[in-house]
Amino acid sequence: MANIIDGKAVSAQVKEDIRQEVEQLKAKGIEIGLAVVIVGDDPASQVYVKNKEKACETVGFNSYKYALPAETTEEELLALVDKLNKDDKVDGILVQLPLPKHLDDKIIINNIRPDKDVDAFHPVNVGKIMIGDYSFLPCTPAGVMELIKSTGTDVAGKECVVIGRSNIVGKPQAMLLLHQNGTVTITHSKTKNLKEVCARADILVAAVGRAKMVKADYIKEGAVVIDVGMNRDENGKLCGDVDFEDCKEKAGYITPVPGGVGPMTIAMLMKNTLTAGKEHHGVN
Ligand code: NDP
C-beta 261 within 6 A of ligand 1 = yes
Q: Is 10 helix (H, G, I), strand (E, B) or coil?
A: helix
| CA of 141 relative to ligand 1 center, distance in Å | 13
pLDDT bin (cut points 50, 70, 90) of residue 273 is very high
Residue 119 phi/psi, 5-degree rounding, is: -85, -15
Comparing CA positions, the residue from 249, 160, 248, 255 lying closest to residue 203 is 160
C-beta 232 within 6 A of ligand 1 = no
Per-residue pLDDT of 165-182, as tens digits, reads 999 999 999 999 999 999
Q: Which residues pair with 254 in a beta bridge?
A: 4, 225
Domains and CATH numbers, the chain: 29-113 (3.40.50.10860), 139-261 (3.40.50.720)
Residues marked active site are found at: 52, 96, 119
> Residue 199 in contact with residue 193, Cβ under 8 Å?
no
| CA of 156 relative to ligand 1 center, distance in Å | 25
Per-residue pLDDT of 87-126, as tens digits, reads 999 999 999 999 999 999 999 999 999 999 999 999 999 9
C-beta 99 within 6 A of ligand 1 = no
C-beta 255 within 6 A of ligand 1 = no
Is the confidence at residue 284, as pLDDT, over 80?
no
Pocket test residue of 228, 232, 269, 272 for ligand 1, highest count of atoms within 8 A of CB: 228
- In sequence order, what are the residues at sequence separation of 6 or more whose Cβ sits closer than 8 angstroms to the Cβ of residue 87? 35
> Residue 226 in contact with residue 176, Cβ under 8 Å?
no
Sign of the Cα torsion 161, 166, 169, 173 reads: positive
Per-residue pLDDT of 208-245, as tens digits, reads 999 999 999 999 999 999 999 999 999 999 999 999 99
- Residues 132 and 30: their CA atoms lie apart, in Å, by 29
Q: Which atom of ligand 1 is nearest to the CA of 265?
A: 40
pLDDT of residue 204: 99
pLDDT bin (cut points 50, 70, 90) of residue 276 is very high
pLDDT bin (cut points 50, 70, 90) of residue 1 is confident
Per-residue pLDDT of 239-253, as tens digits, reads 999 999 999 999 999
pLDDT of residue 58: 98
| Residues above pLDDT 90, as percent of the chain | 99
